[in-house]
Amino acid sequence: MKLKDKVVIITGASSGIGKALATEFALRGANLVLASRQYVTLCGIAQDLQNQYAIKAIAVQCDVTVEEDCAALVKQTLLTFGKIDILINNAGISMRALFKDVDLQVMKTLMDVNFWGTVYCTKHALPEIVKTRGSIVGVSSIAGYKGLPGRAGYSASKYAMNGFLDALRVENLRTGVHIMVACPGFTASNIRNTALDKNGNQQGESTLEEDKMMSAEEVARLIANGVEDRDRTLIMTFQGKLTVLLSKFWPGFLDKQVFKVFAREKNALLK
């Protein structure tokens, strides 16, 4: 699939990977529908991309935890462009708290954004994507293959996303719809700064070494390539690929290694 003149919906497009995706797809000639709760920020991004890349981009205020917002997002896309070629379910939120300490509302919030946001947007966009034999992308995580300590709700939501998209892929084997799960490694973005603590407040500061992570721009480039190539799954780092391999064949060993990694983070939760 070449991306020129394709119509792409990107959720969570106001910052981080979502903003980088908007730039990458605009660079390749796609028209964009940018969605997030940060409408003013989105409008600025859309205008900048239109001016720089001679594409058309619109901003739509959308809270993906609200099904009616997701339905309205699809409706606005059709009113503006008349079709949908690609849906990128990127909106997401993280957490940092041990399960024994966390308020269960934090777990529910993560599922609402990361899992149900994907379900709602996909449900309303799917009939149009069937018409164009287009693509549905879930921006997941290695946390969807290996549970991470202090991120139980995040891992659960990404496992759920992966299972949902895997089932959807099988259901659409004969419709021509492409389903891709994209799993970045740790990415330098604001997702850890906005991660929820045990009480549901944003932690405000990353506890990991951001300068050693993938950039959002690199993630966006790999996802765009994956859409063009109609890849099934993108595991983007050697560490991620090794994690998936070890989880299948040496899960006990992997548990110990993951524990060691997270016991070394700043203000570690594991002792």
What kind and span of H or E run contains 81?
helix 67-81
Q: Which amino acid is at 104?
A: L
Burial class (CB in 10 A: 0-12, 13-18, 19+), 157: buried
Among the options 39, 53, 145, 154, which is catalytic? Answer: 154
Six token digits for residue 260 = 């060691």
C-alpha dihedral (180, 39, 41, 156), degrees to nearest 10 = -40
Catalytic residue check, 154? yes
Cα separations in angstroms, 196 against 150, 168, 250? 11, 30, 31
| Alpha helix stretches (DSSP H) within 116-215 | 117-132, 152-171
The residues assigned a catalytic role are 154
